[in-house]
């Protein structure tokens, strides 16, 4: 498995830490940002393979982040995470360029499977 560069954007540090633990154990590199604005800057500057994006962020809505990424810097494999999953917002996220969808809470295996699908896509 190729090592992936992953960025987690979530305002909950416990989730950032948990994703970091699970993914680094699998040989991937993980960075994280606690809000949408720093997330967008990090995406612009870095060369991430996968972005794990929470839909509810303290500053900007996850959908807005998706939109900006889609318009300005297409490329990274976007996985949306949300605690309030509905079919309609999943569809909306997919339309805005999200490649996958993780509904909170999820297990380590579900996280690894979703992230490593990025390799298959690339």
Smaller CB separation from another protein, 12 or 116: 12
What is the footprint of another protein within residues 58-77 (CB under 8 A)? Answer: none
Q: Who contacts 106 (Cβ-Cβ below 8 Å, separation ≥6)? A: 81, 114
Q: How many CB atoms lie within 10 A of CB 23?
A: 23
- Does 95 help bind another protein (rule: CB under 8 A)? no
- Does 113 help bind another protein (rule: CB under 8 A)? no
Q: Are 29 and 77 in contact (CB under 8 A)?
A: no
- Does 37 help bind another protein (rule: CB under 8 A)? no
Q: In the complex, which residues of this chain contact another protein (CB under 8 A)?
A: 12, 14-15, 17-19, 21-22, 25, 56, 81, 83-86, 104-109, 111
């Amino acid at each position: 498995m190729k090592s992936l560069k992953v960025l987690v954007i979530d305002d909950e540090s416990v989730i950032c830490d948990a994703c970091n633990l699970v993914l680094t154990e699998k040989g991937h590199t993980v960075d994280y940002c606690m809000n949408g604005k720093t997330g967008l800057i990090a995406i612009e500057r870095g060369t991430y393979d996968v972005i794990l994006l929470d839909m509810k962020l303290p500053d900007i809505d996850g959908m807005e982040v998706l939109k900006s990424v889609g318009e300005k810097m297409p490329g990274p494999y976007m996985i949306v995470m949300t605690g309030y999953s509905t079919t309609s917002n999943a569809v909306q996220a997919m339309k805005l360029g999200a490649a996958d969808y993780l509904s909170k809470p999820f297990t380590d295996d579900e996280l690894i499977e979703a992230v490593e699908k990025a390799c298959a896509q690339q």
